[in-house]
Structure 1
Amino acid sequence: MKLISILLFFFSNISFAQFAIISDRDGFVNIRKEAKTGNNISDQLNNGFVVYCFEPENNWINIDYSKNNKDRNGYLYKDRIQYLSEFTKIPLFKETQSQVIFKKDGFYINIESKNFESNSAKLTFLEKEKSVLKKINGKDFWGTDGGIPKRLIKAYPL
């Protein structure tokens, strides 16, 4: 019983964290080192930038984000973002084994999955660990922990 209580406490404390998009009437927000106003501005993010938010502390939200290939952290005022969970849901229109299409009011999103063809991509590996993949076609990638991907996911509006 004690273990279940500890697990419930742990998961309830991390359950709030979610993605959000910067949305401010000025077109940008100041990121601060501390959860207060003053001369502690560490960065600036434009509208549309995606951040990872933790539980708000009074009127401030602690965020993590990646900018210029660096992971960063800071605080912003709570009304300067829109959580992804608040966006309008787009229902599934069509699904196959390798493709899904979402559609609402004439707006379509197509997501396809296919085999990743490493022979047609430029792969860059770490200098010290030649088996760890760093970039694909000069770009960062997600989902393999440094290994060569087996699948390629591509999304685009129709």
Structure 2
Amino acid sequence: MKLETGSYWSMINDYLQVTSSLFLPASSLFTIFAQNKHSLKTKKIFLLTACLSIQLSFAQFAKVIDKDGYVNIRENADANSKIIGKINSDEIVYIFEADNKNWANVSNGYIHNSRLKYIQTYQAVPPTVRDANKAIFKSGNIKVNIVSGKFNFKENEKDFTSTLNGDYYKEQQVWGIDRTIPKTHYISITAQIGDKTIQIPEKEIENLFEVNNKSTTCYYDRINDILYISMLNSDGAGTYAALFTIEKGEYKGRTLEIPF
């Protein structure tokens, strides 16, 4: 499908023709800008990409922790603001760019930061390998092995469908592509904690495309024996964040979000 000229996503796609990485250092971005200083279109792309990069740098997953068993969602970042919903303790939320140091911006409102435990504050499980085809993380008796590879669209084209609500692969919403053909996918994700080996079900990874192993991280909540595997995949309009949770040696589920 052709993108409308000058639209939000067409500007992102134009920028991606200039560079294959959304997360360029500032010096590289300014170089591109300087080389095209007479082009209004390039200036727009530069500003758009810079803003998107900043948004993604702040965005992250967090766990709700509240002694009352739930936390209130406020309409605005204010304790006196209208309560528009509740989220139970232990649920995972995605935090978007912060515009208030005391309040976290979730998809439909605000939660006070005192009621959140950010996933990245748990013990990190460091990577030993992270490349285009695999990622391995290891710390003590914990090991995570992620295998990815090229996706054969021609062989699997029959399993894709398009509806008014979006694109689907094997009856699941597609993540990572935006009017493009998927090039990479997950083959397997396996975690080993002590003497337990946990395989993420194929159904949970088969609709996730455009893998970026270098943006994958792992964290371990040792007190509650919970392993978190966090990903930021694809780029531009297709960017998505994913979090897999393994608790006490059992796979608990995934959380998916468009991070902007």
| TM-score, normalising length: structure 1 | 0.67
Partner of 1:23: 64
| Cα distance in 2 for residues equivalent to 1:98 and 1:146 | 24
Partner of 1:86: 121
Alpha-carbon contact 2:65-2:117 (below 8 Å) kept: no
Alignment RMSD (CA, Å): 3.4
Partner of 1:68: none
Alpha-carbon contact 1:22-1:28 (below 8 Å) kept: no
Q: Which letter does structure 2 place at the counterpart of 1:37?
A: A
| Cα distance in 1 for residues equivalent to 2:78 and 2:92 | 21
Q: Which letter does structure 1 place at the counterpart of 2:78?
A: K
**Counterpart selection for 2:133 from 93, 98, 101:** 98
1:74 matched to 2:117? The reply is: no
Q: Residue 142 of structure 1: CA displacement?
A: 2.4
Q: Residue 88 of structure 1: CA displacement?
A: 1.9
Partner of 1:62: 105
CA-to-partner distance for each residue in 1:94-147, whole Å, 9 max, x for gaps? Answer: 46762221111211111111222443473121349xxxx612222223221132
User: Which segment drifts farther, 106-115 or 135-144?
Assistant: 135-144
Partner of 1:69: none
Structure having the larger proportion of residues in strand: 1
Which SS does the other structure have where 2:111 is aligned? strand
| Cα distance in 2 for residues equivalent to 1:50 and 1:58 | 17
CA-to-partner distance for each residue in 1:53-83, whole Å, 9 max, x for gaps? Answer: 322525322223xxxxxxxx31111112223
Q: Which letter does structure 2 place at the counterpart of 1:21?
A: A
Partner of 1:43: 85
Q: Which letter does structure 2 place at the counterpart of 1:83?
A: Y
Q: Which letter does structure 2 place at the counterpart of 1:157?
A: A
Q: Which letter does structure 2 place at the counterpart of 1:17?
A: F
Alpha-carbon contact 2:71-2:111 (below 8 Å) kept: yes
**Counterpart selection for 1:145 from 169, 178, 181:** 178
Instruction: Describe the shift of the 1:123–1:43 C-alpha distance in structure 2 as closer, same or farther (beyond 3 A).
Output: farther
Alpha-carbon contact 1:56-1:78 (below 8 Å) kept: no
Q: Which letter does structure 1 place at the counterpart of 2:191?
A: P
Which SS does the other structure have where 2:182 is aligned? coil
**Counterpart selection for 1:122 from 155, 159, 166:** 159
| Cα distance in 1 for residues equivalent to 2:151 and 2:91 | 29
Alpha-carbon contact 1:100-1:111 (below 8 Å) kept: yes
| TM-score, normalising length: structure 2 | 0.44
Gaps of 5+ in 1: 65-72
Q: Which letter does structure 1 place at the counterpart of 2:174?
A: F
Alpha-carbon contact 2:150-2:184 (below 8 Å) kept: yes
Q: Which letter does structure 1 place at the counterpart of 2:106?
A: I
Alpha-carbon contact 1:101-1:110 (below 8 Å) kept: yes
Alpha-carbon contact 2:104-2:112 (below 8 Å) kept: yes
Percent identical:
25
Which SS does the other structure have where 2:65 is aligned? coil
Q: Which letter does structure 1 place at the counterpart of 2:73?
A: I
Structure having the larger proportion of residues in helix: 2
Instruction: Describe the shift of the 1:42–1:92 C-alpha distance in structure 2 as closer, same or farther (beyond 3 A).
Output: same
Q: Which letter does structure 2 place at the counterpart of 1:36?
A: D
